[in-house]
Structure 1
Amino acid sequence: MKKSYCPIDTFINTVKGKRKGTIILHLFQGDKRYNELVKLLTDISERMLTKQLKELESDGLIVRTVFPEVPPRVEYSLTELGKEIHPILKSMFKGGILFEKSIEGFQY
């Protein structure tokens, strides 16, 4: 997480990326295995999902837990910081719905 001139920019730069906000919203509902996230996020490649998960982990928003089993089991969960930003992302989700409604109602 890189500090920006403005805290708003710091927040946006941290959560922007291919479906990072959506990943956090899904993890708020409970821990998820990698394959569960793949099924939930059908419009993102597995390569990109892996990249986004690594970035979220390095920014301290999620935790990756590897269980010593055969085959290995990996679960992702939110950190306390990840849980704290949930209300902000939920508000952004609602804001997106408002903008989508206004776009749909716009006549050229």
Structure 2
Amino acid sequence: MEKKKYNIGVEATLEVIGGKWKCVILCHLTYGKKRTSELKRLMPNITQKMLTQQLRELEDHGVINRIIYNQVPPKVEYELSDYGWSLQSILDSLCAWGEGHIEKVHGDKSEVLEESVLNE
């Protein structure tokens, strides 16, 4: 397989964490392991199919771990891998910028951000 060529490093970053949902998933995982159902509850506008697809892609890139517990009923959790934790400063910066943007555009961020996000 031919190695992909990038014109600038941010292209490689966006290939891994780009899109509408991946950074959101990663930000939630910075607070600890989550089951699929927990992520779905935290992200009510994502479809189950899209959540599953995004989790698989993040796992394929090595930024999250899928932990399967050998029990009945089966239990699966997701967590940031060591490699995924290397994204923490990027995620923190994106979150801080977004909160500042919300305040600039909307004034009071508590009127725009979901309570579950404010209390996470």
Residues 67 and 3 (structure 1 numbering): CA distance in 2 closer, same or farther, change over 3 Å?
farther
Cα offsets for 1:33-60 (capped at 9, x unmatched): 1111111110100100000000000011
Corresponding residue of 2:60: 58
* Greater mean alpha carbon deviation, residues 11-20 or residues 91-100: 91-100
Q: Residue 73 and residue 67 in structure 1: after superposition, are their counterparts in 2 closer, same or farther (change >3 A)?
A: same
Aligned with 1:67 (options 58, 69, 86): 69
Q: Equivalent residue for 1:95? A: 97
Q: CA deviation at 1:96?
A: 2.2
Q: Retained in 2: the 8 A contact 1:18–1:52? A: no
Aligned match for 1:13, one of 9, 15, 30: 15
Superposed CA RMSD? 1.7
Aligned to 1:40: 42
Higher relative CO (CA 8 A, sep ≥ 6), structure 1 or 2?
1
**Given that residues 18 and 44 in structure 1 are in contact (C-alpha distance below 8 angstroms), is that contact kept between their aligned partners in structure 2?**
no
Structure 2 unaligned residues grouped into runs of 5+ = 108-120
- Gaps in structure 1 of 5+ consecutive residues: none
The CA distance in 2 between the partners of 1:27 and 1:97, in whole Å, is: 18
Counterpart residue identity of residue 29, structure 2 = L
For the 8 Å contact 1:63–1:76, the answer to whether it is kept is yes
